[in-house]
Structure 1
């Protein structure tokens, strides 16, 4: 799928912000005064900033509030409701700490649970998509959670929690990269299952000769060499370097470097998360390498993608 910058910013920044809010809600730490104001301001800037950035991916941003009305069937709607409720509860909790030096721990625990629920809803937006076999797997919510909690632990100044979470996140990310490449084939989806026709179905011509919405948004092809480079960059910046930095020092400057490196690595991983999504609609355009009858088809109808190499 098209790795839009707004969606990458949304999943990266809001994940770290709500991950930080999980720890702040649990009182890890429970800062007061100006220190508390700075910590909560950072968490809210990341969480709310990420959510706002996602609106720019909509064709009609002014209609974004309507998404909250579909909570019965939409994980996107549930995410929005959970995020608003969480930020409202933790605003009261933060006010108690910052202005009254009062730890309202029941509100903190409720807010931490809400932040975790928001992260789960974000992951489920993608996990529930049957049309993307790479996403429809238990590892998607696990990876989103590991990224968010690892980043939150670093931002909360908790290296003892951040180090194991970074190690878990690295292992999950490597597993997702390797196993994800085989999920489309394992799903059994091909031109036969798509058309329900017998025999060996082959594509004679692309559906049309010009670009359209599906090609722009759902049929993105990333070169193998570029994907390999970004995978190494994701693992190195997102996990290896932060672990090394935290093993050497817990100084605030070291924590800041580890946090920035982690966010940069997660952003690279998020770009690949969308670019390598392999939506099944790509079968109709010959963009799913290895599918019978499509491996040699490379439609000449758009400049936004290139053939795998």
Structure 2
């Protein structure tokens, strides 16, 4: 798949924002007043900024509101509803903390659930696609959720939780890569199934279907070298999990904490780029790209 910057930005920063909102909804950290305002501001800038960036990849951004009508069948629509409910509920919860020094616990818990629901529905937009075997597995939502919760814990200053969750998210990310590498081969898709010509023999690519490019080739066929991918994986896992954990294990220092956050964000951005760049759409078989 072609890695669109807007979608990479969206899936990274909205995940971090909703992850932080999840912890704030649970009452962690236990802040009120100006401190609560600062935490909620960071969370909303990340979550809302990420959501807005996702519209840049739409052919007709002005039609985005129509997606809300398809919640019975569309994970995109469910994502939109979960996001709106999470943002509205946690805004009311935040008002109680900031202006009234009151913690409306039930409201916070409901908002936290919708924050996680937003991340889950985002992941299911990709995990439901049988045409992209690398995404079509339970590890995809596990990957999105684990990184969101771990990143949220890091932003919330929960060192102990962050260390454990970063390790878990790193292991899930590694498992996602390992299983993803086998997914296309295990899917049973080949040139025969792509062309529906298997009943007359074993087809092979002779010439491409047409001489020029088209939307399918631009969006769904992107080839990344294996050696290049392996290097990027090492960089991603080192930045998103290994380096932050090492820094958090050292005696606490605000500068080290900031570096840990920045390293984690950079690592997740690299992993998200790979998430799209390594995704092999079965339509590539029709064009002889595999």
Q: If the length of structure 2 is used for normalisation, what is the TM-score? A: 0.97
| Cα distance in 2 for residues equivalent to 1:139 and 1:155 | 24
| Cα distance in 2 for residues equivalent to 1:240 and 1:30 | 28
The equivalent of 2:112 in structure 1 is 112
Aligned-pair Cα RMSD in Å: 0.9
The equivalent of 1:150 in structure 2 is 150
Matches within 5 A, 1:158-197: 158-197=158-197
How many residue pairs are counted as aligned between the two chains? 288
Task: Using the TM superposition, give the Cα deviation of residue 185 of structure 1 relative to its aligned residue in structure 2, in angstroms.
Answer: 0.4
| Cα distance in 1 for residues equivalent to 2:264 and 2:217 | 32
SS in 1 for 2:218: helix
- More helix by proportion, 1 or 2? 2
Task: Using the TM superposition, give the Cα deviation of residue 86 of structure 1 relative to its aligned residue in structure 2, in angstroms.
Answer: 0.5
Cα displacement string for residues 228-248 of structure 1 (whole angstroms, at most 9, x for unaligned residues) = 111111011111100000001
Matches within 5 A, 1:41-190: 41-190=41-190
| Cα distance in 1 for residues equivalent to 2:140 and 2:92 | 32
Task: Using the TM superposition, give the Cα deviation of residue 93 of structure 1 relative to its aligned residue in structure 2, in angstroms.
Answer: 0.2
| Cα distance in 1 for residues equivalent to 2:264 and 2:283 | 33
Task: Using the TM superposition, give the Cα deviation of residue 81 of structure 1 relative to its aligned residue in structure 2, in angstroms.
Answer: 0.8
| Cα distance in 1 for residues equivalent to 2:36 and 2:64 | 31
The equivalent of 1:254 in structure 2 is 256
Task: Using the TM superposition, give the Cα deviation of residue 252 of structure 1 relative to its aligned residue in structure 2, in angstroms.
Answer: 2.9
The equivalent of 2:25 in structure 1 is 25
Task: Using the TM superposition, give the Cα deviation of residue 209 of structure 1 relative to its aligned residue in structure 2, in angstroms.
Answer: 0.8
Cα displacement string for residues 40-70 of structure 1 (whole angstroms, at most 9, x for unaligned residues) = 0000000000000000011111111111111
Contact 1:76-1:122 within 8 A present in 2 as well: yes
Contact 1:30-1:97 within 8 A present in 2 as well: no
The equivalent of 1:224 in structure 2 is 226
| Cα distance in 2 for residues equivalent to 1:96 and 1:3 | 40
SS in 2 for 1:56: helix
Query: What 5-or-longer segments of structure 1 have no aligned partner?
Result: 289-309
Task: Using the TM superposition, give the Cα deviation of residue 194 of structure 1 relative to its aligned residue in structure 2, in angstroms.
Answer: 2.3
SS in 1 for 2:57: coil
Contact 1:155-1:255 within 8 A present in 2 as well: no
The equivalent of 2:238 in structure 1 is 236
| Cα distance in 2 for residues equivalent to 1:268 and 1:128 | 23
| Cα distance in 1 for residues equivalent to 2:251 and 2:209 | 57
Contact 1:30-1:103 within 8 A present in 2 as well: no
The equivalent of 2:277 in structure 1 is 275
Q: Equivalent of 1:208, from 207, 210, 231?
A: 210
Contact 1:190-1:283 within 8 A present in 2 as well: yes
| Cα distance in 1 for residues equivalent to 2:251 and 2:17 | 23
Contact 1:159-1:250 within 8 A present in 2 as well: no
The equivalent of 1:301 in structure 2 is none
Cα displacement string for residues 263-309 of structure 1 (whole angstroms, at most 9, x for unaligned residues) = 11000000000001000000011112xxxxxxxxxxxxxxxxxxxxx
Q: If the length of structure 1 is used for normalisation, what is the TM-score? A: 0.91
Cα displacement string for residues 61-93 of structure 1 (whole angstroms, at most 9, x for unaligned residues) = 111111111111110110011100110000000
Task: Using the TM superposition, give the Cα deviation of residue 182 of structure 1 relative to its aligned residue in structure 2, in angstroms.
Answer: 1.1
Query: What 5-or-longer segments of structure 2 have no aligned partner?
Result: none
Cα displacement string for residues 139-198 of structure 1 (whole angstroms, at most 9, x for unaligned residues) = 000000111011000000001111111111111111111221111001110112223322
Task: Using the TM superposition, give the Cα deviation of residue 262 of structure 1 relative to its aligned residue in structure 2, in angstroms.
Answer: 0.5
